[in-house]
A and B are shown apart, each in its own frame.
Chain A
Amino acid sequence: MTKQTSTAKVELRGVKKRFGNKVVLDGVDLKLEHGQSLVVIGGSGTGKSVMIKCVLGIIRPDEGEIYVDGKEVTRLSGRARDAMLKKFGMLFQAAALFDSLPVWENVAFGLIQGRGMGRKQAREIAVETLGKVGLGPEVAKLSPAELSGGMQKRVGLARAIASDPEIIFFDEPTTGLDPIMADVINDLIVSTVDRLGVSALSITHDMVSARKIADRIAMLYQGKIVWDGPTEEIDKSGNEYVEQFIHGRAEGPIKMEVRK
């Protein structure tokens, strides 16, 4: 039997994951096309983070397949996985900067450790990349702890794009930022994706951010994609889950779950 190959940049097919008795992903099907910016929306604890960690191989799914550039990567390990991960950049929710290293080494980390580039050259690229996210060279030698939340996000973005990834994941890029800084980050994401021509997958519960950065929006609820469509159509989705979520209503089919 020949397996059907995938033409999308990243594709998830029937991905399932449970922790103990709790089913987190219950058969997720999702496609990220080349050069597209896809945003997955959903409430807290609906498994958005678990989904992207499955793609990155940080969490191993129980069932289903994940394809990157048409190749199945679900059960890769060791060097094959490291090689696959070179295509990815990731901006973590709380930036996840290495606090033992100065800003420039954070940005240059993938170049030095992942690609074996010399420190001097890596530092030049790091400073240049910091410039792309609107940070001056004076930031390079600071420690991450000295930066504000918004600044840390920018450094995190610089780290994600420093090694020229083909795919960037954004985990709650605007969470914890004031509205102005959130908009700055949104603009940076849009311009980065446009300029670098990368494919982007973001997860968020911030609808303002989703509308701004997405070409396409998908909604995750109870471990399944319940709606998927172009950003323009989100207001006439006709889907009661999407309706409740984008208008932020307490009443509706979505029930708050107490336990994670």
Chain B
Amino acid sequence: MNFFATIGRVTLAAFQQIGQLSLFIVSSVTGLLRPPIYWRLIGQQVLRIGYYSLPVVGLTAFFTGGVLALQIYIGSDRYGAEAFVPQIVVLGITRELGPVIAGLMVAGRVAAAIAAELGTMRVTEQIDALTTLSTNPIKYLVVPRLVASVLTLPLLVAIADSIGVFGGYIVATKSLGFNGYVYLKNSVDFVTNEDVYSGLIKAAVFGFIIALMGCYNGFNSKGGAQGVGAATTNAVVTASILILAANYVLTSVIFTR
């Protein structure tokens, strides 16, 4: 009997979480549509989420592009298909690795920071204090982060795409003996608008996931330092898993029409 009780409890808890999250999303979206909109705070968050993530995203994209070029070169050696390195790098970066790597890095950086900040505000009653000062905490805290994240992630990914291709270019020309002009021409000729757009659409969705998981977990954290720690961990883990799951769904929707 205990076994069934456990199943029941887990199921109820799961549905409760889903319901709570859905309500949170609904109030965030309605908060976005009704004034006041805090432009100053959105600007601040664009700086914190987007601009300050540039070094991390740029570096990871550079090395990913580099290692991709190297692996494709080594691997395609078996078929004598080394010449396809630039095409495969540009496709891999714009369609998959650019958005996913940038999404995961920003999830680690930003979802954690948001969850820790809002979680601390929750346990020190700062969120309740906002309410008593006639300010809707969802509009003041959640909406600016969501908007900033959805807007800046595509920009970050566009930059990551360029740096990733550049990383592949450096490795290919400096150590694999490719001609620089030919490499770039092959990349640019091969890549289509759809490849790039699909990556940017993914990025916007990942941005939503990152800010949502950070805010939701922070907002619902309980019980002091330990609760804030748990919220931070949950934010990063759930954001990362959801990014990878959403990536699969988006890929199958965009490319199998």
B1 → chain A closest CB, angstroms: 20
* A51-59, A120-128, A184-192, A205-213 - the one binding chain B: A51-59
**Distance of B241 from chain A, by nearest CB (Å):** 28
Instruction: Write out the residue numbers on chain B whose beta carbons fall within 8 Å of the beta carbon of A92.
Output: 125, 128-129
Check if A82 sits within 8 Å of B136, measured CB to CB.
yes
Inter-subunit contact B125/A110 (CB<8 Å): no
Q: Answer whether residue A98 sits at the interface, using C-beta atoms and an 8 A cutoff.
A: yes
With a cutoff of 8 Å between Cβ atoms, the chain A residues found around residue B129 in the complex are 90, 92, 96-98
A215 to B131, CA, bound (A): 28
Contacting residues, chain B, for A89 (C-beta < 8 A): 132
User: Contact flags (1/0) for B111-132 with A, using CB distance below 8 Å?
Assistant: 0000000000100111011011
Interface hits, A86-102 → B, CB 8 Å: 86, 88-90, 92-94, 96-99
User: B133 on the interface (CB 8 Å rule)?
Assistant: yes
The answer to whether B128 touches A114 (Cβ under 8 A) is no
Distance in angstroms from B13 CB to nearest chain A CB is: 12
What's the minimum C-beta distance from A234 to chain B, rounded to whole angstroms? Answer: 29
Q: How near does chain A come to B8, taking the closest CB pair, in angstroms?
A: 16
A153-210 interface (Cβ within 8 A of B): 159, 163
**Roughly how many angstroms separate A33 CA and B136 CA in the complex, as a whole number?**
29
CA distance A57 to B136 in the complex (A): 12
Contact of A113 among B125, B126, B128, B140 (CB under 8 A): B140
Pair B131/A57 contact, Cβ less than 8 Å: yes
Q: Which residues of B contact A99 (CB under 8 A)?
A: 126
Contact at A93–B125, with CB atoms within 8 Å?
A: yes
- Does any Cβ of B come within 8 Å of A109's Cβ? yes
A85 interface contact, C-beta 8 A: yes
- Do residues A110 and B134 form an inter-chain contact, with CB atoms below 8 A? yes
Total interface residues in chain A, CB < 8 Å: 25
Look across to chain A and name the residue whose beta carbon is closest to the beta carbon of B139: A113
**Of the candidates A57, A90, A94, A114, which one forms a contact with B135 in the assembled complex, judged by CB atoms under 8 Å apart?**
A114
Contacts of B131 in A (CB 8 A): 56-58, 85
Q: How far is the CA of A214 from the CA of B83 in the complex (A)?
A: 86
* B228 CB to nearest chain A CB (Å): 14
Who on chain A is nearest to B125 by CB? A96
Contact residues in A for B125 (Cβ distance below 8 Å): 92-94, 96
Is the beta-carbon distance between B132 and A113 smaller than 8 angstroms? no
Docked complex Cα distance between A171 and B58 (Å): 48
Q: Tell me the chain B residues, 140-186 only, with Cβ under 8 Å from chain A.
A: 140
What separation, in Å, do the CA atoms of A83 and B129 have in the docked complex? 15
- Bound form: Cα–Cα A85–B128 in Å: 12
Determine the distance from Cα of A57 to Cα of B124 in the docked complex, in whole angstroms: 18
| A97 / chain B contacts, CB cutoff of 8 Å | 126, 129
The chain B residue with its CB closest to the CB of A109 is B133
How close is B52's CB to chain A, nearest CB, in angstroms? 16
Q: How far is the CB of B23 from chain A (nearest CB, A)?
A: 13
Which residue in chain B gives the minimum CB-CB distance to A57?
B131
Nearest B-chain residue to A163, judged by Cβ? B133
- Given contacts A113-B134, A113-B135, whether A96 and B140 have CB atoms under 8 Å apart is no
Cα–Cα distance between A255 and B228 once the two chains are bound (Å):
32
Determine the distance from Cα of A114 to Cα of B140 in the docked complex, in whole angstroms.
11
A98–B41 Cα gap in the complex (Å)? 14
- Give the chain A neighbours of B136 by CB distance below 8 A: 82
A29 to B176, CA, bound (A): 82
Selected A-B contacts with CB under 8 Å, 27 pairs:
A53-B128, A56-B128, A56-B132, A57-B131, A58-B128, A58-B131, A58-B132, A82-B134, A82-B135, A83-B134, A85-B131, A85-B132, A90-B129, A92-B128, A92-B129, A93-B125, A94-B125, A96-B124, A96-B126, A98-B121, A98-B126, A109-B135, A110-B135, A113-B134, A113-B135, A114-B133, A114-B135
